[in-house]
Structure 1
Amino acid sequence: MKNNISQYSIELNKFVIDNNNYDTTTNYNNNYNDNNYDNNYINRTTKENNDFYYKKRNDNINNLGETNNVLFLCYDETNDDCTTCDKYRKNYMSNMQISNNIDINKLNDLNDYFFILGSTSTSRKYILKKSNLNFLSIRIHIDEKKIGCRKKNDPFTLTSNISVAKGLKLLSMIKKDSQLKEQIFELAQKKKIILLVGDEVIYCNNKIYEKPTNQKEATDFLKSYNNNKCFSYSSITLIDYETEKIVTGIDESVINIYDMNDNIIKNILEDSSIYFCAGALKIENIYMHKHINVIKGNIDSIFGLSINLLFHLLTIL
């Protein structure tokens, strides 16, 4: 496993070094920065209790007790008991069926899709590029702290709500910006346009870890991982641009970390990019990856975009 992480680390670091002009030199992978939008669209669709919901749409994610259509991929559904997963499936997945065997040939040719990635994350762009998918990367600004409830420490609902909020913000941006819309149609070349956004939270010691806001928080996160296991919950929301149909899913991975002492943590903290990672968990960090014992699940999910989950969601969109 450590060799796999190291290989991903080398490839990602090479990607960062060799592709500084990536967005201007590679077809379809241009960046569009959202500097003119605020969170009004999201705020208008937020209830007083701060639970996010869909405005004038069929809900994919509803409050507990209501029908919920969030696809959940557990890292090991049959061989490893997980009370958190069991509780989630009981409360949220009563009407959702997972296809255990994806027949990629049954999907529409992936070359027929054009993805609008609501992120400028290097790792997400890298994963799409390595998967030979056509996409346009757009930066969206959204205050994640205003979305969802954190009191219940429910990582599934939180990451789903944030992901959906990003998707609706992206859809609103495109609808309002005729120049952006024209650019998208020109790049898509009559391909099916799919909006793609994601979010990730880390769950450890019955607490949700988001991006650290300061060094102390990052330090506390990292110390809590030592000789422990943490869960990565990476959500994806897809929106069909034409029909505005929304599907959302969550991919779970489990990371076991060992012998990561204070000196190692100090070295990790020198990497400023950890502040852009949920839970300050950057598994490709040259110091951290040496102390990861086991990863159960999809490594690309921990990087922020599970291709496995993406394929599943496309089959039900």
Structure 2
Amino acid sequence: MQIDLIKGHGSGNDFLLIDEKANPYTFSENDRAVLARLLCNRHSDLGADGILFIMNSNHADGKMRVFNADGSEASMCGNGLRLVARYICEKLQRQEGVIETMKANLRVSKQADLYPNVPTYQVEISPVSFKLTDLPLKLNQPTLVNEKIPELSSELSFSALAVPNPHLIAIVDTDQLQSELQRQISERVNEPNELFPDGVNVSFVKSINPGNIYVNTFERGVGFTNACGTAMSASSLITCLQNLNEIDQPINVYNNGGKVQCVVHRSEGDYSIDLIGNATYLYQATVEVDLEKNSFAVTNKGDFSEQMAYQKLQTEVQSFLQKG
């Protein structure tokens, strides 16, 4: 089976894009999971955090399905959605569109460059739910906002929400951020456990100053990642609820892969978040895949030149974080 793909990243969170709209691929559900495990393997010639399958939609400009590197399917991916937004908008030669995801149809649009020569897209992150049943998180209470979970930590307070991916967020100081606490908690809640039967994304958030935060995320199905779009969005919302930032005001969110901007909105008691960041292409490739033998070979590969501009952004981000 021959497959054409593009590798790209949002904030260093990298994906393989496979277009099922323009190609006659006939993947089964099992095929998608196998492809994700095979092509995303970091020890292979490709490697990525996941695969973004771009499909036809009956009521939107396109549909995105996200498969993590372990073969599991995610309900949403903010960094990946920016890549899909770019791909579809460029194909349609439009500045904006609507992308169908597992839980909602989301608005996307091209924006002014976040940094010179860095293609930038804005995507809608919603729906937002604080109901523990939507994660799910098995506690004898309906919600959890800035409260302790004694089974996980005696020192940290947590907030839990689905956007719609499940997230567990703690506001931390520098010592807690640099400790092994996040790894220990993340591994516990993503192995068989009584609290999170389906696992959860775990983020440690450090407030730098008003309008600027740093987010480090252990992503369910991936592990520690350069950035997670829904985690940065959810973290921005939590900082607004704790009066560290303001609703309807841009928040610079720094991460190990670079930075994005988030704007939290509230309307009639419901929240949504705009996630604004890069959609950088790394290369396009053709691969020959044998699913029965669980093997593949790259038969053609061509690099894009966009990463150099993004690396300049990363350098500025690291300089800012070191000063902070």
TM-score relative to the length of structure 2 = 0.23
More strand by share: 2
More helix by share: 1
When normalised by structure 1's length, the TM-score is 0.24
